[in-house]
Structure 1
Amino acid sequence: MSAMTPPPPLQEIIDDFQAMQGEEKIQLLLEFSRELPELPAELEEAAMEPVPECQSPLFLAVDASRRDHVVLHFSAPPEAPTTRGFASILHQGLNGLSADEILAVPDDFYLNLGLESIVSPLRLRGMSAMLTRVKRRLQQAT
C-alpha cells in the first residue's frame, strides 16, 4: 500500500460515495450517521477528547495499546447527522487497522468523497480535524 492510498476499508467507502450523485451522497452520509456505534459502557464522553473544529459537539478516543489493532470511538449527538456521518466513515474505514495504516491515510482523503458541493467547507474541515487528532494520538502513543 502506497503512502497516498487509503486502506481498503476506507477506499471502499470512497468508492461508494464516488458512485453516487448529489442527493444520493446525502442519503449515504445519513445512513453512515445512523451506523455510528454507541460508546462502550466503560467509556464516558467526559473522558474523551473534544474536536472543537467540528460545528457540532464531537468527542473521540483512540486506543492504541495494540499498534497492530487501533480501536477508535466517536461520540456525536443524533441531531448532528453530518458530524455523526463523518465520524462513522472514519470509524468504519479505520477502526481495527494498524497505527501505521492509519498514519498513512492522506490528510485530505475526504475530498475524494465528492461532498464539497453539498457540505460546507467548514463541515469538511471538521472531518479533517477528526483524522488529524486520531493521527496525533497515535503519534503520542509511540
Structure 2
Amino acid sequence: MTTAPADKALPEVLASIREDFLALPERERLQLLLEFSRELPSLPAKYQSAPGLLERVEECQSPVRAFAELDDEAKVHLYATAPEEAPTTRGFASILVQGISGLTADEVLNIPDDYPAWIGLDNAVSPLRLRGMAGILSRTKRQVREQLAARSS
C-alpha cells in the first residue's frame, strides 16, 4: 500500500474515505467498496438523455463513463455511470464522484494520481481494477484542465 506523503494533504472527503478503508481489516475493505457501489449517484437529467456527453473510461474493464463539469464558481461536479453487475468498478466510480464533487478545480488537480492505491485495496482487487480507478481520476483531471483552459482563452 502506498502511504500519503506528508506534503500531500488530501481533500477532506477523500481523506475520510481513505481512513474508513484503512480502519478495516483487509478482508472487510471489499465489503465497504461494495457499499460504495450501491451509493453511486444517478446522473442529472441532462446527462441521462445524452449519455454520449460522458467520456468512456478505456482503462476500466466494464463500460464506465465519466464527465467532470466546472460550475460558474470553478467547483467540480463529477458524474459517472457503471453497470450494477460490475460492483467493484462501480464502487471506485462512486468513491471518486462522492470525493471530488464540490471541490475546487485546484483541489481536484492536486489529488495524487496514485490515490487509488492509498485506500488499501491492493490485496482485495486486481491491479487492473485499481488502474481503472486511476483512469477515472486521470480523465477527471484532464477534463478539468481543458475546461479551465477554455475559460482562459
Task: Answer whether contact 1:50 1:59 (CA < 8 A) is retained.
Answer: yes
Specify the structure having the higher radius of gyration (Cα).
Answer: 2
Normalising by the residue count of structure 1, what TM-score does the alignment of the two structures yield?
A: 0.94
- What amino acid maps onto 1:119 in structure 2? V
Task: Map Cα deviations across residues 23-78 of structure 1 (whole Å, 9 max, x no partner).
Answer: 31011000000000111111132221000110111000111133531111000111
Identity %: 50
* Matches for 1:1-142 after TM superposition, within 5 Å: 4-43=8-47, 44-142=50-148
User: Any idea what SS the aligned residue of 1:42 has?
Assistant: helix
Q: Distance in 1 between matches of 2:34 and 2:51?
A: 22
Structure 2 unaligned runs (5+)? Answer: 1-5, 149-153
Normalising by the residue count of structure 2, what TM-score does the alignment of the two structures yield?
A: 0.88
Structure 1 unaligned runs (5+)? Answer: none
User: Any idea what SS the aligned residue of 1:141 has?
Assistant: helix
Q: Which residue of 1 aligns with 2:151?
A: none
Bigger drift between 111-120 and 40-49 goes to 40-49
Q: Distance in 2 between matches of 1:53 and 1:64?
A: 23
Question: How many pairs align?
Answer: 141
Give the CA RMSD over aligned residues: 1.3
Q: Which residue of 1 aligns with 2:3?
A: none
Task: Map Cα deviations across residues 108-141 of structure 1 (whole Å, 9 max, x no partner).
Answer: 0111111010100000000111100000011111
Task: Map Cα deviations across residues 53-105 of structure 1 (whole Å, 9 max, x no partner).
Answer: 10111000111133531111000111010111000100111111100000000
